[in-house]
Amino acid sequence: MNKNKLLTSVYDFASTVLSSVLIICVIFTLFFKTSTVSGQSMENTLHDGDTLIISAISKNIQYGDVVVISQPNAYSKVLIKRVIAVGGQTVKFDYKNGTVAVDGEVLNEPYIKEHMKTPLLMKSEYVVPEGKLFVMGDNRNHSADSRDMGVGMIDENYIVGMVLYKFGDKELFNSSFKELQNG
């Protein structure tokens, strides 16, 4: 009888572990993904080597969200950038003051590493077509983003997901940004 009890306990334990692993795999396959930051374009918000959890179902993307992008680009890289404007909006740069305005309103950007320097080949105004996003890195002077012809504006269909959590932080990533921006 003790042998049957032991076998039943081992079976129950193995069944519980296997079920848990299966549930976690399904959740991370359908709803969440992980990504690793490569490069310095999102400093000081994200750093090279940071591991991120991203939402695989991000339909309501808006200004300030940090997204993972799979759109083919000249650098053959998956990109992680911040959404600056969505379809129908106009983005304008004032390189003298280092500011970005969307639809005439200068953005409050406490997350950027440093103000932009005047670029050599980039335009100072962009109109974002419907279905596209204008994205930029937080490290503006070291970021290949929508200002760069090698990246351009991002088709919404190429958004892999929105960054939710950065390992090492104690709270949800985009929620923290929204509070910082509003507070």
Give 71-97 pLDDT, tens digit per residue: 999 888 999 999 999 999 999 998 888
- Number of structural domains found in the chain: 2
At position 154, the amino acid (one-letter code) is I
Q: Higher confidence at residue 167 or residue 136?
A: 136
Q: pLDDT band at residue 30, thresholds of 50, 70 and 90?
A: low
19 and 89 within one domain: no
50 and 73 within one domain: yes
Catalytic annotation present for 124: no
119 and 53 within one domain: yes
- Cβ 108 vs Cβ 181: under 8 Å: yes
Which residues touch 41 (CB under 8 Å, ≥6 apart)? 79, 80, 81, 137, 138, 139, 142, 143, 144, 145
89 and 20 within one domain: no
126 and 73 within one domain: yes
Interval 4-20 mean pLDDT: 80
113 and 55 within one domain: yes
Residue 32: its pLDDT value, please? Answer: 76
20 and 51 within one domain: no
- The one catalytic residue among 41, 55, 58, 143: 41
49 and 26 within one domain: no
In CATH, what number is assigned to the domain containing residue 138? 2.10.109.10
73 and 15 within one domain: no
Residue 14 belongs to what domain range?
1-30
Nearest to 63 by CA among 79, 35, 92, 87: 87
Alpha carbon 13 to chain centroid distance?
Answer: 38
142-159 pLDDT, tens per residue?
A: 999 999 889 999 999 999
Average pLDDT, the chain: 84
Q: pLDDT band at residue 168, thresholds of 50, 70 and 90?
A: low
β-bridge partners, 127: 90
What element of type H or E holds 94?
Answer: strand 90-94
At position 7, the amino acid (one-letter code) is L
Percent of the chain with pLDDT over 90: 42
Torsion, CA 13, CA 16, CA 20, CA 23, rounded to 10:
150
40 and 24 within one domain: no
- The one catalytic residue among 55, 58, 81, 143: 81
Residue 170: its pLDDT value, please? Answer: 43
What pTM did the predictor assign?
Answer: 0.78
74's tokens: 């000249």
Q: What are phi and psi of 90, to 5 degrees?
A: -115, 130
79 and 48 within one domain: yes
Q: Higher confidence at residue 14 or residue 65?
A: 65
Q: pLDDT band at residue 115, thresholds of 50, 70 and 90?
A: confident
33-84 pLDDT, tens per residue?
A: 888 888 999 998 998 888 888 887 767 899 999 999 999 998 889 999 999 9
Catalytic annotation present for 41: yes
Output helix, strand, coil percentages for the chain, rounded to the nearest 5.
25, 30, 45
4 and 93 within one domain: no
Q: pLDDT band at residue 177, thresholds of 50, 70 and 90?
A: very low
Rounded Cα gap, residues 166 and 172, in angstroms: 8
